[in-house]
Structure 1
Amino acid sequence: MIVRLCAATLGLCLLHGAMVQAQDVFDSAQSLGRGINVLGYDPLWSDPAKARFTPELFKVIAAGGFQTVRVNLQAFAHMDAHDRLDPQWLHSLDAVVQQASAAGLKVILDEHDFHPCAQNAETCRSRLLAFWGQVAVRFRDAPGTVLFEALNEPSGKLTVAKWNALLAEVLATIRQSNPQRGVIVGPAKGNYFTALPDLQLPDTDRHLIVTLHYYNPFSFTHQGAPWTRADIRDQHDVHWGDQASRSKLYHEFDVIADWARAHDRPVLLGEFGAYEAAPTADRLAWTIAVVNAAEKRHFAWAYWQFEGSFGAYDLAQGHWNEAIHKALVASDGAWKR
């Protein structure tokens, strides 16, 4: 019997006394550090001339204390009837990866089409496999600082069983051209942490980073958001920050950390944030608490999002939203290896 000894929080895995490839993925996950979500809803993808996000902003993000950008790609809308990606869209993607990399940032290519996948699992399967068949080959020679994320928040018609089956196919597609690239994967049910026990990963693939999204309590983080259900949309002045709510948050992060140790997988907190309608002081307190909880447990993270109603940056004024920005990056980052 092979005896495998792991100290997951250090990314240290020994097999017969020799370092194995799991070391690489723990280092890769840790190096993602502090990240931010970008470009999900920018006109860039349909008409680069109308882009709100300019290449110089990658330098602003790096100078602002972030190490990674999670690029939200809604690529299905840019596929033809044969699931071929629009060449102009691919050209824009090439430019984004080059510009972010030149600014010293790591890049996560996040296939973000969770809405169409939730509505039709079969169409999702066809398009997702076609997407990775094209994008993985295109970036097969990219540096290891470019990572792939299989699919954002699988949910709805993409059930646990269907997602596990599709994920196996996606990984097989990616591994044909990128056998050792870091790939980010998350559980069904919207990347929610309670679905972790249902996530099936190939034991032999030691280049996977598991992602979770955290918006608890939803009644606080999404109060007043017009796209949510009525009972959340119509709420206002929902507060957060008493001892009970803090204890619950830390407990939920402990549950994630316990799973990560038991399964010897690194974790990326791929999204978290509170909508701008939340009471300002409580929104900042919640953000700080999530950052501290993640970093204490050695999880890299990516805030949702750079601009917009959760945004850390004011595009119109050309500066960081100071309070949110400080809440995200004010600590010294001593947690990082």
Structure 2
Amino acid sequence: MKKTTLFFLALFISAQLFSQTTPTQMIAKMGRGINLGNVMSAPIEGNWAPAVEETYFDDVKAKGFKTVRIPIRFDTYLTPLSSVNYTDAGGNYIGSSDDYTLSTAYLDRIEQVTDWALNKGLIAIIDVHGDHWFWDSYNASKDDYRTGADREAAVDRFKALWKAVSLRFKNKPDELLFEIMNEAYFSMSKADVDIINPAMLSIIREENPTRIVIVNGGGDNTYKAPQQMESSFLASDNYLMATFHYYVPFNFTSSGKEQYTDNDWGTQSDYDLLDTHFDQVKTWATNNGNIPVLLGEFGADNVNGHDYSTGQDGDHGGPDAASRKEYHRYVAKAAIDRGFAFTVWDAGEESNKTIYKVSDRTWVEDIIDALFDGVAATKEFNFDTDGDAEGWGNLTVSGGIATGSTSVYATTTAAVDASSFNYAHVLLKNNTSNGMLRMSFPQESDNTKRTFINIDNITENNSDFEYIDFDCTGLDGWTATVNDIKFHVKDNGNAAFVADGTIEIDKIIFDANSSLSTSTIPKKLKDVIVSSDNGTIYVKGANLKAVYSITGVLLENANLSHGIYLVVVTKNNQTEVVKLVI
């Protein structure tokens, strides 16, 4: 196993570490994501694509995705309706959700897969996706259509599904989300979904009172679907997230099929139509208490209808290469620019919409480029020797170091992509007797106010440079592009800004890393080194108390696989948690 060493990634065991993540904070963390399509949503995993392995999540993480939506079908593993006698001799309904059992082995498999994602630091979504038997029970044109006692039985069977899932996953971290139904609007009316959503939410809340639940409406599809939900329902629960799917225009996105013939996309009218649709969703979300929005699916058929499993183009053509790439680029940008997260649709190389090829663990790179267009690894302000202050005020640059003698250092031209970069790092030398560094930026909900992040106990009268790390994840105003950013030097516990010396800044970095601390940085765990070698974690300079998985499971400190671990250490009667990636 690769040997890794991390220094000073210290987090207090506190309410802040384990506190519930709000939907607004979560949507900011989710950013760009992908669907594990056609795998667990098949009647049996492996029918439509190879069964998922842990390496899939390694590859997803390495590519820069933050979220994996996992479409799942439960029908095969849930007691069938035909096995239950739910009516009496008079045809009256006598059944209940207790008549149905979800396979423990299948729950074990789902837990294994979701834990793989969570242990890589990804956000995972359990999406009830392939259970058309339920939503089609509301559609008179479908074979599964049911009325009367048969309908009641179908509802109870669906309740049993959510009871089992809710109970099994109740102790998982916030980063596991539930999605009640996938595209039920093709068979269920607005009124139907308005009944089912709160019924299933009530079941989920019995075991998961603050887990984020993803919801959608009935009776209309694509960007109109979330707008069908009642405002009273959305306001009734503080942990809801809305979703919609986007495959407009279908004549283009499904042009690998014979009946759809529009192979190009990207005119001004194409852009304008998409912007109009996304603006409608944004306005609706704003009017409903700024409910966060996930674009749960979008995509277009493979170029020329290409089948990556056979290496052959399709018989009926398909999108041209430039149009397919541009469609993915523009939809992804439209979502991120409006503060939405997204999970692009990918169903593997045997499907008509391919991004990841499991056979050789490679990607359709032009689509990856499109999805991450404009995303840099970091946004940095390096103060070069030319005296350029990089747009920051109250700083004098000399020899690559920006020096300030006032208490506030500010810019209005930062242009930080908050959808990609949740962390800020200031490499500074604090030559004052003041021990707090504050970061602030305007709030989105009220731009006359600012959001503040205070880092206490920075080293005073310091002779060394140290990184000060700020976590902006999910904070009000940290969305889309942030330009107005200030750093304030303050006295600990003193409301006034104090400047009794100088601050020297080497660089300011915005990225997706929680810490840039190094061994030369004096932090609370000074001289403590946490490392791993051959699957065992070692601590030097403190006492190792316990090792937990990222999901909170106590582990034996041996034979640990690649992943993220929480290492509890004690020093000087203080208990700290170190996040270690091995």
TM-score of the pair, normalised by structure 1: 0.85
Q: Which residue of 2 aligns with 1:217?
A: 249
Specify the alignment match of 2:381 in structure 1.
Answer: none
Partner-residue secondary structure (3-state), 1:188: coil
Q: Residues 196 and 101 (structure 1 numbering): CA distance in 2 closer, same or farther, change over 3 Å? A: closer
Given the superposition, is the C-alpha separation of residues 286 and 51 from structure 1 closer, same or farther in structure 2, using an over 3 Å criterion?
closer
Deviation at 1:45, TM superposition (A): 7.8
Matches within 5 A, 1:191-206: 191-200=221-230, 201-206=233-238
Cα distance, 1:246 vs. partner? 0.7
How many aligned positions are there? 310
Structure 1 position 98, deviation (Å) = 1.1
Q: Residue 94 and residue 75 in structure 1: after superposition, are their counterparts in 2 closer, same or farther (change >3 A)? A: same
Match in the other structure for 2:323: 282
Distance 1:195 1:177, change over 3 A: same
1:298 aligns with 2:334: no
Partner residue of 1:246 out of 264, 271, 285: 271
Show CA shifts across 1:241-262 (max 9, x none): 1111111111111111000100
Q: Are 1:114 and 1:155, in contact at CA under 8 Å, matched by a contact in 2? A: no
Residues 237 and 279 in structure 1, CA contact (< 8 A), matched pair in contact too:
no
Match for residue 39 of structure 2 among 38, 41, 45: 41
Residue pair 1:296, 1:335 contacting (<8 A) in 2 also: no
Distance in 2, matches of 1:28 and 1:43, equals: 25
Counterpart Cα distance in 2 of 1:55 and 1:22: 27
**Taking structure 1 as reference, are residues 75 and 285 closer, same or farther at Cα in structure 2, changes over 3 Å only?**
same
> Does the Cα contact within 8 Å between 2:127 and 2:180 map onto a contact in 1?
yes
- CA deviation map 1:5-33 (0-9, x unaligned): xxxxxxxxxxxxxxxx9982111122111
Contact 2:253–2:299 (Cα < 8 Å) also in 1: yes
Cα pair distance change 1:191/1:210, threshold 3 Å: farther
2:106 counterpart of 1:89 = yes
Superposed CA RMSD in Å reads 2.4
Post-superposition CA distance 1:23-63 (Å, at most 9, x none): 82111122111111115335998468994422111011011
Give the partner amino acid of 1:67: K
Is 1:258–2:301 an aligned residue pair? no
Q: Larger C-alpha radius of gyration, 1 or 2?
A: 2
User: In structure 2, what is the equivalent of residue 208 of structure 1?
Assistant: 240
Residue 370 of structure 2 is matched in structure 1 by: 327
How many angstroms apart in 2 are the aligned matches of 1:76 and 1:290? 33
CA distance in structure 2 between the partners assigned to 1:33 and 1:79 by the alignment: 33
Q: What percent of counterpart residues are identical?
A: 29
> What does residue 63 of structure 2 align with?
64
Shift of 1:191: 4.7
Give unmatched runs, 5+ long, in structure 1: 1-20, 226-232
Partner Cα distance (2:41, 2:342) in 1: 26
Q: Is 1:167 aligned to 2:197, yes or no?
A: yes
Q: Superposed, which structure 2 residues align to 1:152-163 within 5 Å?
A: 152-163=182-193
SS of residue in 1 equivalent to 2:184: coil
Aligned-partner SS, 2:333: helix
Gap runs ≥5 in structure 2: 1-18, 81-98, 139-150, 303-317, 377-416, 420-477, 479-582
| Residue of structure 1 aligned with 2:165, choices 110, 113, 135 | 135
SS of corresponding position for 2:185? coil
C-alpha change, 1:220 and 1:114, in structure 2 (3 Å) is farther
- Residue 456 of structure 2 is matched in structure 1 by none
Bigger shift: 310-319 or 132-141?
310-319
Higher helix proportion (structure 1 or 2)? 1
Structure number with the higher strand fraction is 2
Contact 1:132/1:170 (8 A) holds in 2: yes
In 2, distance between residues paired with 1:180 and 1:84? 25
Moved more, 309-318 or 274-283: 309-318
Aligned to 1:273: 299
